[in-house]
Structure 1
């Protein structure tokens, strides 16, 4: 029997937390996932999984079951939001598979979360605890002592904070510091594909760029549904719902969205109008990582948004959490037992922080380019038309994670 003190405690049961439990658990290490919600369910709508994320999922043997729930777009088409003209084009589908050895996929968050959950339950010794929230923790000579909101305590060999943007584990590790409101609001919605026109139903990731806004749409659930995300600037420059709980989406009105987007191309407007229910998310982030100590200290590590929250302008939030989880699992496999978690996490942080910081900066840069106006917008459009795939292909990112190169 394994004592509780040898267990790794994972705070958060979202995509990052379950990916972490899977990566650690398949090595035989006992894991306990602590999830504050009353059930293991993922909110939100769609996510994009680039070839870098798919490479990890393939290594975990999840690429085959993923096929039953994912869509695999043929291309990315970048358009002007006002007149609909094409600005840039990136081939995905067979071309992505040829370039990177892995496809580009889109999936509904809830479907993907369930896939991870089933893999954790069937392939690992992990325990999944609901309605369990980490309040604080203390590092001790034998590991980490965790206090829960209800006053219970747990001990483990290590603690991994996968508890998102408002992470309590991060607060305990690095000191309490609020994320910063970006001034952007994300409106999200799903629409059945057979309720919109042929142009909107194409098997593509479609990206419309405008002044101080952009909209992205892509197929999920084998193309039967279309996921939409519209990111707009908030005129007030502050979170309009700052007095409400930040962990959940708010219902939204399409009329408010359309005020912020301005005039739209006809088929984009039709697609937006077809969405039956919109939700709104204020977007927060933190400055890019500045060193490995912001990823892990001693037997406590941060993963995904808890360490490096990303704006959605590069579609890499889930992918970077998956890469983080994979990296920890690989280190477990390479190090001899008994595991020194402080040393393992130091190697993990050194390995991951620069790539994650670069992706954070790239996401912020993309937001500026996507929302450009005036001469900057004209220059962006000319560059996209002239350079096309050279600008969009992103070989450095999609070729990762870099530690996987050279493996059999």
Structure 2
């Protein structure tokens, strides 16, 4: 049997996991998700300390903070249509956050109210149990987003691995998630060359740009759909008001008639399709139909004004999202241009380096030649060679008598030639 936990423990367990995640300067989406979770945790930890009036407003406060995720996901169950504000999955880090958030939503099944409210306690407990229905659907919607991302990235999808084990600490749980979904994405089995790095970088930029362009297209489609809904609501509201005014006018006219005139009109309605009474009846039916269509248009909201306000709010958020996506697209396009310039520069440097290497291999460098000459004419070696030659001639030099005879012979030959 699973032990039930208090609402405070439920939020504290979520906080323990979030505290293991670290904000990233380079990943604004991931950092924003962590900041949003911190704001929700701050509210959640105080729930069981609140009174009956304040606790009824907690759901709205948490919903407002969840909107900061900036990503709406429609989800349909057999009982109801939902639209949840969930963290958007764009990379490995946001995938890990989404899994932690999914674990948090699933954990709500084990929650029971253990606060200090005694009066209306049964009402609070009923509210907590009712919340489990929508939270269960929200967890399924989050799991669907995780499944779609894993399929798009060819990642293993194992729902049981997303849940924190009973004997697992928050640190062990998040470490396991990072090992499974982040470390494998960033690990490199062997060194890769500059060309491969450039290709990988260019591929990443192209992938991110494609995702942003798809997100921008989705935002624009959503914006157009919201505009169509606002226009449709305005048209049906205008039709309803016009028909209501016409019916009010006919009612006043009928009420101001004399009794005999009313009786005459009643008699005429039996024989004519264009009688006043039939016009009055037709007008009433038109108002009823217009009112029904109008209510169908703004369902499940209570009033048309509330529905219109929500549509305008969503439209404003969509405008902001479109502007944000367009700005990010411009930044990525600039990065692509910078990357191409870097590639061209690196290519030129590689070509220059190859040319210099080829020249060095073909001809010995001036430095090398000078070094060899210097080595050959080194002072001590040169002096040693001279001493060697001098010793050789001194050792084999003829004696003085032989030199004198040679000199006399040479002089006699020279004299004879002169005569």
Normalised TM-score (structure 1) = 0.20
Larger Rg: 2
> Higher helix fraction: Structure 1 or Structure 2?
2
Normalised TM-score (structure 2) = 0.19
> Bigger relative contact order, structure 1 or 2, given CA contacts below 8 A and separation 6+?
1
